[in-house]
């Protein structure tokens, strides 16, 4: 055998040995990591849930939401879209969770002379009497939801001596401006009437 052939045979043998001696997967270590990760995720979820319940306890002084009247009158405007939550007015990260106000959902809004009726399939409906409406504006964000500038209809209202902002997004965003004008004209009219008395 020539030295070159001998060298080639030795290389082939050493390569074959390396292929056979590949490391074996450490299944115990991997399972341990997966169990640890699952426990960590469960802990984080539990802490978030407890935080949500704690926030609801802190806001327990907020009275129950009023029900819509049987005969609210003719609808000025209607809208379908999404309810993104309520916050303390002017503090877009201070979410209100009491009485289901923190639950995002689909929403159907109806504005009448009696007030704003918010029907939410799968969540608590609520009604804002006209006397408690304080205004409306276009905004870009509310606790946990940020959209393009003017992509959110924010209605400010009073409940239990506290000012709240509630965020809605219509299925047709072009409707937002009409809603802002209608709600603001209602609040200005009620303010003017109150001042004349």
Specify the higher pLDDT residue, 73 or 191. Answer: 73
Beta strands in the chain, from DSSP E residues, in sequence order:
75-88, 95-96, 105-112, 115-119, 126-129, 133-139, 141-142, 145-146, 152-159, 162-170
pLDDT digits (tens, 9 = 90+) for 151-163: 899 999 999 889 9
Residue-wise pLDDT tens digits, 131-190? 999 999 998 878 777 777 778 999 999 998 899 999 999 998 889 999 999 999 988 876
Contact 97, 87 (CB under 8 A): no
Distance CA(72)–CA(184), nearest Å, equals: 19
Give the pLDDT mean for 109-129. Answer: 92
DSSP string, 42-53: HHHHHHHHHHHH
Average pLDDT for 25-34: 84
pLDDT at 9: 64
CATH architecture of 75-196: Roll (2.30)
Q: Do residues 141 and 92 touch, judged by C-beta distance below 8 A? A: yes
């Amino acid at each position: 055998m020539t030295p070159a052939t001998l060298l080639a045979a030795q290389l082939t043998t050493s390569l074959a040995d390396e292929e056979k001696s590949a490391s074996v997967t450490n299944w115990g270590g991997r399972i341990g990591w997966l169990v640890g990760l699952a426990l960590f995720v469960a802990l984080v979820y539990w802490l978030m849930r407890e935080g949500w319940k704690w926030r609801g306890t802190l806001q327990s002084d907020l009275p129950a939401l009023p029900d819509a009247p049987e005969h609210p009158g003719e609808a000025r405007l209607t809208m379908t879209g999404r309810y993104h939550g309520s916050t303390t007015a002017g503090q877009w990260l201070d979410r209100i969770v009491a009485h289901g106000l923190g639950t995002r959902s689909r929403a159907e809004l109806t504005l009448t002379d009696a007030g704003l009726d918010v029907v939410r399939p799968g969540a608590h409906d609520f009604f804002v009497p006209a006397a408690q409406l304080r205004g409306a504006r276009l905004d870009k964000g509310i606790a946990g939801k940020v959209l393009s500038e003017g992509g959110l209809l924010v209605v400010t209202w009073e409940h239990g001596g506290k000012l709240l902002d509630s965020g809605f997004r219509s299925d047709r965003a072009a409707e937002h401006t009409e809603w802002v004008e209608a709600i603001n004209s209602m609040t200005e009219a009620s303010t003017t009437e109150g001042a004349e008395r």
